[in-house]
Structure 1
């Protein structure tokens, strides 16, 4: 019978996150992921080493990048004998890659691996229109010249209109922001509360940079030194002047460009290992990846739940399995797809009826100490390259736990929660 071994997070690395169409307009997913892997390789002296595996992925990916992570490994300073593969679970991608790599370490199948993610909204794939694509496929199948002429006769100039990618939900046709508008209306989340959380996201991140917290986590890339979405001059007054971004007609829209994540380019990765591997290489773990839980909700139909509410379901199962309450954490990092989505989740955990009827609990999970939430900034301030955000959170939280342990001499625990498109959610417990 297999006994699970502890899984150590040794450290994280990322490039600065850049708003769409700014510093990384010409940077590809492959270039950004390779730069991030090499930064991790340099930090931990992994040049030429064969690791157990590397798992990463991207949400917006060109067909040429069908083997993106493997190509990044081959372009990096890692040994080419290092296996690699792609994963895609929308915004939760690199939390999922950490779980996959961590589970293999825990089972003793590998000793060390890298988990990460990358996304470029600037270099998003642009596809042919469906009618033009079908015409080309039909031409390829044609056997005779007359068949080809007949097919070409069906060509129309309008077929050249490209199919621009979007992240709207296929089952509803609504964007994530439109879904979140429905959620905040359902839960009665005010515009002011959303703006307050958004402002804290910027201020906490800026303070972290000023304190040097990100000095060894973020490596310069393409001339960028830090995340360029951060606004040191942001204020409640400025946020209040922004117009609704998703519900522009009802007069009741509360999600704006200021309290929502921007489209972002970037990459992040973390190094995970067994205790034995860490000891052999003289590296002290920053934190332990203790456990994880995923969930999914039905977001279309008679029993529809809010699109981004899946973490509300995952967390109670995770807590029960580990004998913990929601208050048994020193830090919480809840991914801010939107400030309103975070507030909906927190309010759901505080609602006794919701916890009984939806989550199957006997009572509300209760409130958390908001001063422990996203203490080094969140996705609204830092930016959100879809597949990279999970690794950004895990890398930062592992360091935060290490600093807490070093400062107080006491163990520390963190809860990580990431919502994702498709009604998905991934959560994890970290300890130091």
Structure 2
């Protein structure tokens, strides 16, 4: 027996302002920020005390106490305590993947409503001691007498006390994401000036979005913060050009602090539902989440670490029966300006599309005027797990006012990519009528 799949509605989402790490949110935890984002959704859509079928999401940089962060955030929010929370981590794709997994359940009728959520802070990163010293601490906890506890530290070396700072390097290569992206930029011959130009445009678009009031219902204040503190309305190309390379100090280095996202604290959440649930709660549908795709590549074997989204999007287009040009908006996560430009260049490259994507012809180019039209991660910042939900909420709002169809592409650590398609209600109705 087959069941007809239901449409998955994006009701809308909010986020707290994103802040550079160790600045305005230095004293906040992932739990506090995630709860703030959840309460923002509750307040905006009148969900106080109501049951949501699931809250799914997580954080990339976590403490051991955050073993089920999503559930604890629910219990710290105004949602009914009967709302279950599921913690999920897929690096920078976390909250988009959370939305896709819940969307599958809504489509099949298993649930009626869900909130995808993500939070991250590197201001409150866990500090880890050496394995040897950590074992001593465990033994202290197991010791029964004071003398036994003292004996545990016999032979203690001062070097054991040195904490291991948090690292964002790839375990398989030892290289940071920025170093990997620098290699990609060199392979694809992405010039420094083009990266700076993309960063400049992102800040200008983001600042304009605030000025025109577009961000008003997408942002909820947190800890006295009302605006992203990474955003630079007065940014200039001359200033960007003056910055030194951040990941490769030689003259070949092209990635800088200006054309790369900073370490960022923040949280976001987006509400998904069936059409029936939305109607019962008198909530309008901004857009529909129609397709999703994720995949990984062999970055250890030579594929670019952040190139997997090129493959995810290709597979997504095949399933949807669309071309790369069949979109009114493109939301390509700006982890680094170079990553976006490498992705665009790869889709235009016949050899890459044949060798990696299995295509007889390139996917082609996109209209750059449709790319990240309200700014993206270079301007706002990038709290790893929060970016996906930020993008879904933003794209849903764009589609609700402009119509059409939008494509999301997010690169993640570990050589993975997550992609999705959103479509405006009017566009779907017109297609069905035709």
Matched, 1:425 2:417: yes
Which residue of the partner structure matches residue 182 of structure 1?
183
Which residue of the partner structure matches residue 154 of structure 1?
155
- CA shift for structure 1 position 218: 0.2
Matched, 1:341 2:348: no
Which residue of the partner structure matches residue 408 of structure 1?
none
Distance 1:149 1:206 in 2: 58
- Which stretch shows the higher mean deviation, 133-142 or 144-153? 144-153
Q: Secondary structure at the match of 1:291?
A: strand
Which residue of the partner structure matches residue 83 of structure 1?
84
- CA shift for structure 1 position 158: 1.9
- Could you state the TM-score of these two structures normalised by the residue count of structure 1? 0.95
Distance 2:392 2:93 in 1: 11
Is the 8 Å Cα contact of residues 135 and 155 (structure 1) preserved in structure 2? no
Distance 2:150 2:389 in 1: 52
Which residue of the partner structure matches residue 427 of structure 2?
none
Which residue of the partner structure matches residue 203 of structure 2?
202
Matched, 1:380 2:372: no
- CA shift for structure 1 position 3: 2.2
Matched, 1:285 2:285: yes
Q: Secondary structure at the match of 2:422?
A: strand
- CA shift for structure 1 position 134: 2.2
Give a deviation string over 1:94-146, Cα, whole Å, max 9, x none: 00110111111111011011001000111111122222012233455678999
Which residue of the partner structure matches residue 368 of structure 1?
366
Which structure 2 residues correspond to residues 314-333 of structure 1 after superposition, within 5 A?
A: 314-333=312-331
Which residue of the partner structure matches residue 262 of structure 1?
262
Which residue of the partner structure matches residue 106 of structure 2?
105
Is the 8 Å Cα contact of residues 289 and 430 (structure 1) preserved in structure 2? yes
- CA shift for structure 1 position 221: 1.1
**How has the CA–CA distance of structure 1 residues 22 and 145 changed in structure 2, closer, same or farther, with 3 Å as cutoff?**
closer
Distance 1:74 1:18 in 2: 25
Distance 1:259 1:146 in 2: 56
**How has the CA–CA distance of structure 1 residues 148 and 265 changed in structure 2, closer, same or farther, with 3 Å as cutoff?**
closer
- Which stretch shows the higher mean deviation, 134-143 or 109-118? 134-143
Give a deviation string over 1:139-196, Cα, whole Å, max 9, x none: 5567899976664323112211112111100011000000000000000000000001
Distance 2:60 2:79 in 1: 24
Unmatched runs of 5 consecutive residues or more in structure 1: 406-411
Distance 1:196 1:127 in 2: 39
- Select 1:358's aligned residue among 356, 366, 390: 356
Distance 1:149 1:218 in 2: 52
**How has the CA–CA distance of structure 1 residues 101 and 128 changed in structure 2, closer, same or farther, with 3 Å as cutoff?**
same
Number of equivalences = 423
Which structure 2 residues correspond to residues 20-59 of structure 1 after superposition, within 5 A?
A: 20-59=21-60
Distance 2:351 2:158 in 1: 57
- CA shift for structure 1 position 395: 0.3
Is the 8 Å Cα contact of residues 9 and 273 (structure 1) preserved in structure 2? yes
Which residue of the partner structure matches residue 276 of structure 2?
276
What root-mean-square deviation, in Å, do the aligned CA atoms of Structure 1 and Structure 2 show? 1.4
Q: Secondary structure at the match of 1:220?
A: coil
Distance 1:180 1:99 in 2: 27
- CA shift for structure 1 position 2: 2.6
Give a deviation string over 1:225-248, Cα, whole Å, max 9, x none: 111101111111110000000001
Q: Secondary structure at the match of 1:300?
A: helix
Distance 2:176 2:361 in 1: 33
- CA shift for structure 1 position 64: 1.1
Distance 1:79 1:220 in 2: 22
Distance 1:3 1:269 in 2: 28
- Could you state the TM-score of these two structures normalised by the residue count of structure 2? 0.95
